[in-house]
Amino acid sequence: MKPTTDPRLAPNESPKTYRVKSFGCQMNVYDGERMGELLDEKGLTPAPEGEDADLVVLNTCHIREKAAEKIYSDIGRLTKGKTQKKAPMIAVAGCVAQAEGEEIMARAPAVSMVVGPQAYHRLPDMLDKAVRGERATDTDMPAIAKFGALPARKRRSPTAFLTVQEGCDKFCTYCVVPYTRGAEISRPFNDLIGEARKLIEAGAREITLLGQNVNAWAGEDDVGRPVGLAGLIRAIAKLDGVERIRYTTSHPNDMEDDLIAAHGEVDQLMPYLHLPVQSGNDRVLKAMNRAHTAESYLRLLERFREARPDIALSGDFIVGFPGETEAEFEDTLSLVDEVRYSQAFSFKYSPRPGTPAATMDNQLPREVMDDRLQRLQERLNRDQRAFNDALVGKTCDILVERKGKLPGQWLGKAPWLTSVWFAQEGGDTVEIGDIVSLKLVDAGPNSIEGRLI
Ligand code: SAH
Ligand code: SF4
Ligand code: F3S
């Protein structure tokens, strides 16, 4: 993939503007913001919307085949003038960079830099090299070192992500994350409180704590007592100016009692839990190496509902895992019927290179997966719609996140993470970051309409 348009930069010219395009999970979004902050510090500025950037960072995801292959078409579009008029300098970051760094360098000469998710604090040095014409790859995993080398937070937004835990030791047999992100690590308590303070100073009213297994976070508080995620949440809730706290993604096997209790005790902790289950069948769960059963998962959700009766539940599902029978798939449908999720994410199994499931017998044909996904999604959509319908007539607070497409229209989130929109009337003044009280008047499949009261 050699550039076929004129390059934006002359040889040895430093880029002045940049754009970071993040794909995949929220942790990638967080990393994308942090790379932006590094580039800001280096004197670059974000390219204005719709204008060419001198440097484009593709922050990639390796979780499923489709996501991973996308990077080659994105590079092609950038170099052929389809995304912007002139070909930019290109950096590939994220989980595809980690998994396939060498291959990218060989296959795409237009790429100047390949940098993994644990090494991007070194991006500024790599950029100096790239300007001198030296292509550079860095897929080291120094993990915690990265955070210490990043500049202070300054992004202005009412909602902010804060990565507290990284990596995964669970090795579910289908998943690449333990290989692309490395072993589980927890960032130290005081660093996190410091970063949360900075985010609040910059205008954040809602903080979402992130981790591949966020509830595996463990540390010592400011007086040296061992604490888990619930302790961290309770400490962040005490900071002035935090209105809302969320966390994602949790694993059923790392759930501590105190986190469940916190849902009934910490006002700012929102009534929402994303807890992936993947399958409702115990044989499949075992083959996936999930180390929980459908029953233990359901009992866990019951305890959350006891602590916080209005809690909205969300999950992840994989259909068509190798060897999954029709009857085993139907166990997943039954589990969905029992839980009644407010929203959920469902995927066709995608064999990933290097994972044990990719070489298991009995990989299922595409048609079977398509059919199962469609049947699962019908039920999940039904339940999401029912959840939204049940909110109509209620009053709730929403955090205003941005303007809608129509004049006077605003968008935000209800406590249950449901998207809500409302129209500003006559004398009302509304600003991004406000928490407004709304009466919910009409529900759609994906959002709810509210009226200011
Ligand atoms: N750590 C989180 C989620 C990580 S990836 C957890 O364990 O819950 C997000 C979701 O992608 C997973 O929950 C799973 O549903 C899906 N996923 C991961 N690997 C996949 C694969 N090989 N094929 C299809 N879906 C996959
Ligand atoms: Fe992947 Fe399983 Fe780890 Fe989640 S818990 S990141 S699905 S290996
Ligand atoms: Fe994708 Fe990596 Fe996140 S593979 S889902 S970007 S951890």
Question: Which pLDDT band holds residue 172 (cuts at 50, 70, 90)?
Answer: very high
Confidence at residue 3, expressed as pLDDT on a 0 to 100 scale: 65
Residue 294 maps to a domain: no
Confidence at residue 11, expressed as pLDDT on a 0 to 100 scale: 85
Residue 257 maps to a domain: yes
Is the same domain home to 25 and 84? yes
Is 170 touching ligand 2 by the criterion CB < 6 Å? yes
**Confidence check: pLDDT of 79 > 80:** yes
- Determine the residue of 20, 21, 26, 28 to mutate for testing ligand 3's pocket, defined as the one with the most ligand atoms within 8 A of the Cβ atom: 28
Is the same domain home to 34 and 76? yes
Provide the token pair at 104: 């990218």
Is the same domain home to 183 and 82? no
Q: How many Å separate Cα 341 from the centre of its chain?
A: 19
The residue ranking higher by pLDDT, 147 or 37, is 37
Is the same domain home to 49 and 30? yes
Confidence at residue 365, expressed as pLDDT on a 0 to 100 scale: 97
**Confidence check: pLDDT of 153 > 70:** yes
What is d(CA 314, CA 34) in angstroms, rounded to the nearest whole number? 27
Confidence at residue 5, expressed as pLDDT on a 0 to 100 scale: 78
**Confidence check: pLDDT of 1 > 80:** no
Provide the token pair at 91: 């950096």
pLDDT 10s digits, 393-426: 999 999 999 999 988 899 999 999 999 999 998 7
* Nearest atom, ligand 3, residue 60 CA: 6
**Confidence check: pLDDT of 104 > 80:** yes
Is 175 touching ligand 2 by the criterion CB < 6 Å? yes
Residue 388 maps to a domain: no
Residue 320 maps to a domain: no
Is the same domain home to 62 and 174? no
Residue 409 maps to a domain: yes
**C-alpha angle 116-120-123 in degrees, rounded to nearest 5:** 120
**Confidence check: pLDDT of 18 > 80:** yes
Is the same domain home to 71 and 38? yes
- Domain residues for 94? 4-141
Which one, of 232, 271, 231, 276, lies nearest residue 253 by Cα?
276
The verdict on whether omega for the bond into residue 137 sits within 30 degrees of 0, i.e. cis, is no
**Confidence check: pLDDT of 151 > 90:** no
Check the annotation: does 61 bind a ligand.
yes
Is the same domain home to 10 and 127? yes
Ramachandran category for residue 234: left, alpha or beta (phi over 0 → left; psi -120 to 50 → alpha): alpha
The residue ranking higher by pLDDT, 306 or 156, is 306
Give the number of C-alpha atoms closer than 13 A to the C-alpha of residue 87, restricted to the C-beta side: 20
What is d(CA 250, CA 388) in angstroms, rounded to the nearest whole number? 24
Q: Which residue type, as a one-letter code, is found at position 431?
A: E
What is d(CA 327, CA 330) in angstroms, rounded to the nearest whole number? 5
Mean pLDDT of 28-37: 95
CATH number of the domain bearing residue 404:
2.40.50.140
Provide the token pair at 93: 């970051």
Q: Which residue type, as a one-letter code, is found at position 387?
A: F
**C-alpha angle 378-383-385 in degrees, rounded to nearest 5:** 95
Is the same domain home to 137 and 214? no
Confidence at residue 71, expressed as pLDDT on a 0 to 100 scale: 92
The residue ranking higher by pLDDT, 69 or 395, is 395
Query: Which residues are within 8 A (CB) of 168 and not within 5 positions of it... i.e. 6 or more apart?
Result: 175, 177, 178, 181, 183, 184, 212, 213
> What's the DSSP call for residue 152?
P
Mean pLDDT of 81-85: 89
CATH number of the domain bearing residue 157:
3.30.750.210
What is d(CA 329, CA 320) in angstroms, rounded to the nearest whole number? 8
Which one, of 192, 181, 285, 194, lies nearest residue 247 by Cα?
192
Mean pLDDT of 22-42: 95
Examine the fold and report which residue of 247, 270, 293 is the final residue of a domain before the chain moves on: 270
- Say how many residues make up the chain: 453
Is the same domain home to 135 and 19? yes
Is 216 touching ligand 2 by the criterion CB < 6 Å? no
Least confident of 5-19, 105-119, 380-394: 5-19
| Percent of the chain residues past pLDDT 70, beyond the cut | 99
Tell me the sheet residues that pair with 93: 59, 115
What is d(CA 406, CA 394) in angstroms, rounded to the nearest whole number? 24
Residue 68 maps to a domain: yes
Task: Please report which ligand is nearest the Cα atom of 212.
Answer: 1
Check the annotation: does 175 bind a ligand.
yes
Confidence at residue 143, expressed as pLDDT on a 0 to 100 scale: 66
What is d(CA 47, CA 55) in angstroms, rounded to the nearest whole number? 9
Confidence at residue 147, expressed as pLDDT on a 0 to 100 scale: 86
Question: Which pLDDT band holds residue 266 (cuts at 50, 70, 90)?
Answer: very high
Least confident of 3-12, 16-25, 264-273, 440-449: 3-12
Tell me the sheet residues that pair with 159: 206
Question: Which pLDDT band holds residue 67 (cuts at 50, 70, 90)?
Answer: confident
Question: Which pLDDT band holds residue 145 (cuts at 50, 70, 90)?
Answer: confident
- Determine the residue of 95, 171, 292 to mutate for testing ligand 2's pocket, defined as the one with the most ligand atoms within 8 A of the Cβ atom: 171
Three-class secondary structure of residue 330 per DSSP? helix
Phi then psi for residue 60, to 5 deg, are -95, 165
Asked if residue 339 lies in contact with residue 387, where contact means CB atoms within 8 angstroms, the answer is: no
Confidence at residue 66, expressed as pLDDT on a 0 to 100 scale: 87
Tell me the residue ranges of DSSP E strands in 291-381: 312-319, 343-348
Residue 13 maps to a domain: yes
pLDDT 10s digits, 229-258: 999 999 999 999 999 999 999 999 999 999
Mean pLDDT of 164-184: 95
Three-class secondary structure of residue 85 per DSSP? coil
CATH number of the domain bearing residue 78:
3.40.50.12160
**Confidence check: pLDDT of 111 > 70:** yes
* Mean pLDDT (the chain, rounded): 94
- CB-based burial label for 4 (10 Å; 0-12, 13-18, 19+): exposed
Domain count, the chain: 3
Check the annotation: does 396 bind a ligand.
no
Provide the token pair at 321: 């895992």
Mean pLDDT of 164-168: 95
Tell me the pairing of strands 226-228 and 244-248.
unpaired
Residue for token digits 């066709």?
348
What is d(CA 220, CA 187) in angstroms, rounded to the nearest whole number? 10
pLDDT 10s digits, 274-303: 999 999 999 999 999 999 999 999 999 999
> What's the DSSP call for residue 280?
S
Confidence at residue 320, expressed as pLDDT on a 0 to 100 scale: 98
Is the same domain home to 105 and 174? no
Which one, of 164, 128, 158, 142, lies nearest residue 38 by Cα?
128
Confidence at residue 7, expressed as pLDDT on a 0 to 100 scale: 86
Question: Which pLDDT band holds residue 176 (cuts at 50, 70, 90)?
Answer: very high
Three-class secondary structure of residue 137 per DSSP? strand
Task: Please report which ligand is nearest the Cα atom of 24.
Answer: 3
* Nearest atom, ligand 3, residue 95 CA: 2
Residue for token digits 């199962």?
372
Is the same domain home to 132 and 174? no
Is the same domain home to 163 and 265? yes
- How crowded is residue 115: how many other Cβ atoms within 10 Å of its Cβ? 27
Examine the fold and report which residue of 213, 244, 270 is the final residue of a domain before the chain moves on: 270
- How crowded is residue 215: how many other Cβ atoms within 10 Å of its Cβ? 23
Asked if residue 67 lies in contact with residue 24, where contact means CB atoms within 8 angstroms, the answer is: yes
- Which ranges of 202-281 does DSSP label H, i.e. alpha helix? 229-237, 257-265
| Percent of the chain residues past pLDDT 90, beyond the cut | 87
Residue 61 maps to a domain: yes
Q: How many Å separate Cα 49 from the centre of its chain?
A: 23
Examine the fold and report which residue of 93, 119, 141 is the final residue of a domain before the chain moves on: 141
Q: Which residues line ligand 3 (CB under 6 A)?
A: 24-25, 27-28, 61-63, 94-95, 176-177, 180-181
Is 276 touching ligand 1 by the criterion CB < 6 Å? yes
Confidence at residue 249, expressed as pLDDT on a 0 to 100 scale: 96
**Confidence check: pLDDT of 2 > 70:** no
